[in-house]
C-alpha cells in the first residue's frame, strides 16, 4: 500500500512578532493559508527507510540524515521502516514552509500506512515551529511559538500568486535583524468579505523589512506584484517568497505569467486557496 499526501505551501498573510521569550524563541500571531504547489509525499512499507527526491527542485535539496522527512520518520517506532518519495516543486528556504509541509505530509502518511497515531504537537515542534500548522490545509491562526492553532471559518474564496526571486533566506538571520520584538497582535478577524479586504491591508509581516534589508530583491518582487492591483501583496514568513491575493483565478494566473515572462529566473505559481 502506498499513501500519498499533498504538501501545500504555507503562506503567512500576516506575521506579528509579539515578544522574545526567555528561551530565545519568539511568540507570534499569524494568519496562515495554504496553496497546493504540486509538492507531495508518498510513503509505503519497506525493509529499510529510504528517501528519494524527484521533481523540478530536487537538485537543490540533496538527501541528508538531517532532512526533516527523515527526522519525521524517527518519531515513529523503529519497526516503521518506510520507502518515501518527495516530489519537490517549491524553492528551498523560501519562507513558505516547504520542509515543514514535507514533514507534516510524512507524519500523516506514515500514520496511515502503519495505522498509528500522529505524533503529538510537542513532538511535531521538535521538527520545527511550522510543522504543527502544516498539519492543516485550510486557513488558521497560528500563535505561541507555532503550537496554538485555531480554525478560521469565514475566510473568503480567493486566489493567490506566489513569487520567489531565487534567493534563500535563513529564518534565524532575519529574526536577529528584527529590532523591535514586542509588537501588537493581529486585530480581531472580520465577518464580511468586504471587511476582510480592509483587514488584510491593516496587518503586517514584522519580518518583511529585516528581510528586505538582507535581500533587497524582495522589494522588487513586491513592486512587481502590486502592478497587478491585488487585494494585498506581502512577503510570506521570513522570505523571500511574496504573495498577492486576487478575486479571480485568471488574475492570479495572469500576474504569475507576466512576472515569469519579465523575470524568467524567478519561481512563480498561482492557484486557489485551500479550504
Report whether 203 contacts 31 (CB < 8 A).
yes
Q: Which three cell numbers stand for residue 41?
A: 509525499
Preceding omega of 240 cis (within 30 degrees of 0): yes
Q: Residue 82's closest CA among 125, 107, 49?
A: 49
Residue tagged active-site, from 29, 102, 130, 206: 130
> Is 10 designated active site?
yes
Residue tagged active-site, from 10, 29, 102, 206: 10
Report whether 31 contacts 13 (CB < 8 A).
yes
Which residues pair with residue 188 across a beta bridge?
none
Preceding omega of 65 cis (within 30 degrees of 0): no
Report whether 229 contacts 239 (CB < 8 A).
no
| Sequential DSSP letters for 96-123 | S-HHHHHHHHHHHHHHHHHT-PPPPHHH
In the 8-state DSSP scheme, what is residue 182? -
Identify the three-state secondary structure at position 269.
strand
Q: Which three cell numbers stand for residue 219?
A: 522589494
> Is 261 designated active site?
no
Catalytic machinery residues? 10, 130
Amino acid at each position: 500500500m502506498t499513501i500519498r499526501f499533498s504538501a501545500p505551501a504555507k503562506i503567512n498573510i500576516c506575521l506579528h512578532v509579539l515578544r522574545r521569550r526567555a528561551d530565545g524563541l519568539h511568540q507570534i500571531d499569524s494568519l496562515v493559508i495554504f496553496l497546493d504547489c504540486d509538492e507531495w509525499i508518498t510513503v509505503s512499507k519497506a525493509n529499510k527507510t529510504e528517501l528519494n527526491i524527484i521533481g523540478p527542485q530536487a537538485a537543490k535539496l540533496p538527501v541528508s540524515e538531517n532532512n526533516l522527512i527523515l527526522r519525521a520518520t524517527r518519531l515513529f517506532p523503529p519497526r516503521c521502516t518506510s520507502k518515501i518519495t518527495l516530489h519537490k516543486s517549491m524553492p528551498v528556504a523560501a519562507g513558505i514552509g516547504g520542509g515543514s509541509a514535507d514533514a507534516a505530509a510524512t507524519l500523516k502518511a506514515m500514520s496511515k500506512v502503519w495505522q498509528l497515531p500522529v505524533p503529538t504537537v510537542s513532538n511535531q515542534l521538535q521538527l520545527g515551529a511550522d510543522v504543527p500548522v502544516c498539519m492543516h490545509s485550510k486557513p488558521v491562526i497560528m500563535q505561541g511559538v507555532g503550537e496554538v492553532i485555531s480554525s478560521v471559518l469565514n475566510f473568503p474564496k480567493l486566489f493567490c500568486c506566489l513569487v520567489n526571486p531565487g534567493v534563500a533566506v535563513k529564518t534565524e538571520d532575519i529574526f536577529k535583524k528584527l529590532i523591535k520584538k514586542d509588537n501588537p497582535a493581529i486585530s480581531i478577524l472580520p465577518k464580511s468579505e468586504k471587511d476582510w479586504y480592509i483587514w488584510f491591508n491593516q496587518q503586517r509581516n514584522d519580518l518583511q523589512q529585516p528581510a528586505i534589508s538582507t535581500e533587497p530583491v524582495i522589494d522588487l518582487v513586491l513592486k512587481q506584484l502590486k502592478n497587478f492591483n491585488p487585494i494585498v501583496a506581502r512577503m510570506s514568513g521570513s522570505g523571500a517568497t511574496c504573495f498577492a491575493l486576487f478575486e479571480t483565478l485568471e488574475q492570479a494566473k495572469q500576474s504569475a505569467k507576466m512576472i515569469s515572462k519579465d523575470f524568467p529566473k524567478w519561481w512563480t505559481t498561482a492557484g486557489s486557496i485551500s479550504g
